[in-house]
A and B are shown apart, each in its own frame.
Chain A
Amino acid sequence: MTHYIQSHLQTLEDESIYIIREVVAQFQKPVLLFSGGKDSITLARLAQKAFYPAKIPFPFLHIDTGHNFPETIEFRDQLVKELGVELIVRYVQDSIDQKKVQEETGKYASRNALQTVTLLDAIEEFGFDACMGGARRDEEKSRAKERIFSVRDDFGQWDAKKQRPELFNILNGKIHFGENVRAFPISNWTEEDVWNYIAQEEIGLPSIYFAHKRKLVKRDGAFLAHSDYLNLVETDEIVESIVRFRTVGDMTCTAAFVSEANTIPDIMYENKSSKSSERGARMDDKRSEAALEQRKKGGYF
C-alpha cells in the first residue's frame, strides 16, 4: 500500500514538474495564482522542486477579496518569505472603489465572483501570458473538461467548444499577442492525492484545515464562519462548534464541517467516509447547476 502511494504520487509529481517547466520555457511572463488553499500550496511545493537549487522563477499573484480567513493570509506571507518569491497582491476592494464592480447585496452577498475583474486587470497590468492555477479535474464537472493548457482570449474568456486537442505529453502553448493561457499542472490529481502528498512531503497548511473551535452562522443547514463580512438575516443562528474547512475560499461562501479531525490521516478517513464532495461546501457553486462554468467563461479561474 505504502509503495503504491509513493509510486503513484511520484508519477503525478513528475508530470506536474514537467508542466511547470514547460510553462516557464514556453511563456515570457508566467505567474502562479496563489489563494492560500491546499492546492495552491501543493503547487508552490512542486514549483520549488521543479527549479531547486534555483529559486522559483515567477511571482505569485493573490487576488485578495478582503474576506479571507486571517489564518490564510498569515500563512501566505510566511510561505513566500520561506520560498523567496515575489508576492503580488491585488484587491477586489480597489475594483469596487474604482466602480468597476459592484458589491453584491443581501443574504448571499459574496465577493467571490467579483475576483474575475480584479484578476483580468492584474493580468493586463503586468502583461502575464500564462497563469498557473491549482485547479483539479476531479473538483467539479466543468473543471473536468479543462485542458492542461487552456487558451483564453483578450477578455479572459474560455471557449469550451474550441479547446485544442492535447495529446500525450505535447503541450502547445502558442498564443497570439493579448491572449493568455491558464495552465493547470495538477489537473490529474484528486483530492485524495493532494492530501497524500501533503502528508508524504510534510507540507504545512493554514490551521483552518484542522479541527478548531469557532463561532459560526448556521444557515440553510450549513455552517459558515462568523465574520463582519457576512450579512446576517433573522433566520441565521449563531452557534459555536468544533469544525474544520475542507476547501478554502472566502469567509462568506465556504462552509465548515463539524469535525474533530486534526491530523491528516483523520481528515482523509473522514473525507472518504463522508460521501460528500469537496466543493459541496462551496456556496458559490450552489447558485445554479452551471455556476462555475458561467464564471469560468467570463474569465474566472
Chain B
Amino acid sequence: MDLLRINTAGSVDDGKSTLIGRFLNDSHALTIEQEELIIKKTKEKGLEDLDFSVITDGLIAEREQGITIDVAHIYFSSDKRKFIIADSPGHVEYTRNMVTGASNSEVSIILIDARKGLLEQTYRHYFISNLLRLKTVVFCINKMDLVQFSEDVFLSIAADINKMAGKFEYKPHVHILPISSLKGDNVVNHSEAMQWYTGQTLSEVLHDIKPGEAQTADFRFDVQQVMHVQNNEFIDYRAYAGRVISGSIAIGDEVIVLPSGQKSKVAELRKFTNTFNEVKTGQSIQLRLEDDVDVSRGMMLVKDNDEKLLSKDIKATLVWLDEKQTIPGGRYLLQAGTRTVQCKLQQIEAVIPPENPEELVQADTLKLNDIARVSLKTATPAFIDSFENNRLNGAFIIIDPQTNNTVGVGFSE
C-alpha cells in the first residue's frame, strides 16, 4: 500500500468540502462520530441531502460563514492506498494557503461549478499547480445535477480547460470528470444519470495515479547543526546533522563544502545506532568527514561544484502573499532550507496574469496574490537550484524582517 498526497482547490461554493465528505462516505472511511455529526447538522439545517462539509470545515469561523479558510489535512485509506488530502480554501485572499497545500502534494483536484464554468480562481489554481510542477491535475466539473446532467455543458467546459492548459509550457496529466458530490455521481460510484460519460470516477483516477518515483537530482545536503560528542564510546565525535535534500551519497565519496569550496571525503553516515553505506533523498542523518574542515549551520555539501548555487543573483517566479505591497528596492530575508540570507527585490520584470500566462504585464508594485517574474539580489549565496531541475532545492520563501511573516514564495529559474 502506498501514499498519495492530494490537494483540492476551487472557488467559493464549488463544493470542495462536500466532495471530500462524499469521497470519504462512499469509500466507507468516516468514523461513527463523523457520521453522527453529518446527520445532526443536516437535520439542524433542514437540508434534503446529507451535509458532508461539516467534516472538513473545522474552524468556528468556517462553519459560521460556510466557507473554508485554512488548509485542512485529511488522512484516510482505502483498501489499496493511503491518502492525505489538503483541502485548501477557495477565497482569493487565502491563496497563500492554497500554495501551502499544493507544495506538499503530487496531485491537484480543481473543482468547477458546472453552472459557472472557469472562474478567476480556476486559472489561478491551475497556474499554481503548473508552477509547482504537479504531475497530475484532475478537474471535477461539479454540480452536474444542477445543469440536468448535460453533456453539452460538460463538453463546453472541458474545451475551455483544454484551451487554458494549452497555453502552458509544462503539461501535467489532465483528467476532466463530470460529477455531483451532493448526489454522489462519479465520485466513487459511476453515475446512472450520466450514461454518456464512460470515463473513470474520481476514485478510480486517484487509485490509478502512480505516486512519485524518486527524483534523479544532484546530491544536496543541508547542514542543520554541528554535533560534538565526547564520551567513552564516542571519542571526539564531530558530525554534521542534516537532511539529504536530493540525490545520494556513499562512504568514501568526495564532497565539496559550500560556500568555502573545501573538499573532503565521507567517513561515516549515521542515524542513531545505525550506520549506512549509502543514504538517499529525504534521509535525516549525521555525516562525518575524513578531514577537519570548517562547516556550520546553513552550509551545504554537494558532490560537484555548480556555479549556479553560488550565485547572488536569482531570477525567479514569485508569488506575493502579503497584504502589504512591495516595490523594487524592498529589503527582505530569503530562506531556502536551513539558510536565511538578506535579499533585495531588484526588479519586477513582469506580472503574469493567471488567465493568460503568455501575456506579460509591466508593473511597479507587487500586490497580494500577484505572480511575477522578478530578479533578486542576495547578500550571500543561498545555494538554490533551478526549480525545473531540482524541485526539492529550487524553492525559497521571502520573510519581512519587520513582521517576521512569510510574505512571498519563489521558484528559481
Q: Tell me the minimal C-beta distance from B52 to chain A in angstroms.
A: 13
Which of B1, B100, B224, B335 is in CB contact (< 8 Å) with A18?
Answer: B224
Q: Are A167 and B397 in contact (CB under 8 A)?
A: yes
Most B C-beta atoms less than 10 A away, residue of A15, A145, A165, A166: A165
Which of B3, B74, B100 is within 8 Å of A167, CB to CB?
B100
B3→A8 contact, CB < 8 A:
yes
Complex interface bits, A11-28 against B, C-beta within 8 A gives 1, otherwise 0: 101110110011011000
Task: Please indicate the chain A residues that have their CB under 8 angstroms from the CB of B271 in the complex.
Answer: 17, 49
Q: How far does the alpha carbon of A174 sit from the alpha carbon of B297 in the complex, in Å?
A: 16
In the complex with contacts A160-B59, A294-B60, A145-B72 CB distance below 8 A: yes
For residue B243, give the distance in angstroms from its CB to the closest CB of chain A. 5
Which of A144, A147, A172, A175 contacts B397, CB < 8 Å?
A: A172
Question: In the complex, what residues of B have CB within 8 A of residue A165's CB?
Answer: 96-97, 99-100, 321, 397, 406, 409
CB of A48, distance to nearest CB on chain B (Å): 7
Cβ–Cβ contact A170 & B397, under 8 A: yes
Q: Which of B60, B84, B229, B282 contacts A54 (CB 8 A)?
A: B229
In Å, the complex CA distance between A180 and B404 comes to 12
Q: List the one stretch of B8-16, B32-40, B257-265, B345-353 in contact with chain A.
A: B32-40
In contact, A170 and B337 (Cβ under 8 angstroms): yes
CB distance from A47 to the nearest CB of B (A): 11
Most chain A CB atoms below 10 A, which of B57, B224, B229, B409: B224
- CB of A49 within 8 A of CB of B272, answer yes
Interface residue stretch chosen among B147-155, B183-191, B230-238, B302-310: B230-238
Q: Is the CB of A17 within 8 A of B284?
A: yes
> A14 contacts which chain B residues (CB < 8 A)?
243, 282-284
- A160 and B70: CB pair below 8 A? yes
A287 lies within 8 A of chain B by Cβ: no
**How many angstroms from the CA of A49 to the CA of B124 in the assembled complex?**
42
What residues of chain A lie closer than 8 Å to B284, measured between beta carbons? 13-15, 17-18, 21, 50
B99-122 contact mask (Cβ, 8 Å, vs A): 1 or 0: 110011000000000000000000
* CB interface residues, A 114-166, toward B, < 8 Å: 137-138, 140-145, 147, 160-161, 163-166
Whether A25 lies near B225 (C-beta < 8 A) is yes
* Residues on A with beta carbons closer than 8 Å to the beta carbon of B58: 140-145, 293
Given A50-B284, A141-B56, A163-B70, residue A280 in contact with residue B99 (CB < 8 A) = no
* B229 close to A53 (CB less than 8 A): yes
Residues 205-223 (chain A) with a chain B CB within 8 angstroms: none
Query: A153 → chain B, closest Cβ, in Å?
Result: 12
Smallest CB–CB gap between A246 and chain B, Å?
Answer: 12
How many Cβ-Cβ contacts under 8 Å join chain A to chain B?
A: 151
Pair B97/A22 contact, Cβ less than 8 Å: no
Q: Which residues of B contact A289 (CB under 8 A)?
A: 37, 63
Whether A141 touches B338, Cβ cut-off 8 Å, given contacts A53-B231, A160-B59, A174-B404, is: no
**A58 close to B (CB within 8 Å):** no
Closest B residue, CB atoms, query A166: B100
Given the known interface contacts A21-B225, A161-B61, A170-B396, the answer about A188 and B100 at a Cβ–Cβ threshold of 8 Å is no
Closest chain-A Cβ to B242's Cβ sits at a distance in Å of 8
B385 to chain A, nearest CB (A): 13
> With the chains together, A13 CA to B282 CA distance in Å?
10
Other-chain contact of B33, A1, A48, A167, A276 (Cβ < 8 Å)? A276
B311 contacts partner chain A, Cβ-Cβ < 8 Å: no
Knowing A14-B282, A164-B405 touch, does A24 contact B225 (C-beta < 8 A)?
Answer: yes
Interface residue A176 (Cβ < 8 Å from any Cβ of B): yes
Given contacts A165-B96, A293-B58, contact A21 B241 (CB under 8 A): yes
A190 and B338: CB pair below 8 A? no
- B contact residues around A163 at 8 Å (CB): 70, 97
Q: List residues 361-413 of chain B with CB under 8 A from any CB of chain A.
A: 392, 395-397, 399, 404-406, 409
Where the two chains meet, the residues of A that have a C-beta atom closer than 8 Å to any C-beta of B are 1, 4, 8, 10-11, 13-15, 17-18, 21-22, 24-25, 48-54, 137-138, 140-145, 147, 160-161, 163-170, 172, 174-176, 187-188, 190, 275-277, 280, 289-290, 293-294
**Chain B interface residues (CB < 8 Å from chain A):** 1-3, 31-34, 37, 55-61, 63, 69-75, 82, 84, 96-97, 99-100, 103-104, 224-225, 227-229, 231, 233-234, 237, 241-243, 245, 271-273, 282-284, 297, 321, 333, 335-338, 392, 395-397, 399, 404-406, 409
Known: A145-B58, A163-B70, A167-B395. 20 other contacts (CB 8 A): A4-B1, A8-B2, A11-B282, A17-B271, A17-B284, A22-B224, A51-B227, A138-B75, A141-B56, A144-B56, A145-B59, A145-B70, A160-B70, A166-B406, A174-B404, A176-B404, A188-B73, A289-B63, A290-B60, A293-B60
A-B contact pairs, 19 of them (CB 8 A): A4-B2, A15-B282, A25-B224, A51-B227, A54-B229, A141-B55, A141-B72, A145-B59, A163-B97, A165-B406, A167-B103, A169-B245, A169-B337, A172-B399, A174-B399, A175-B404, A176-B404, A187-B73, A190-B75
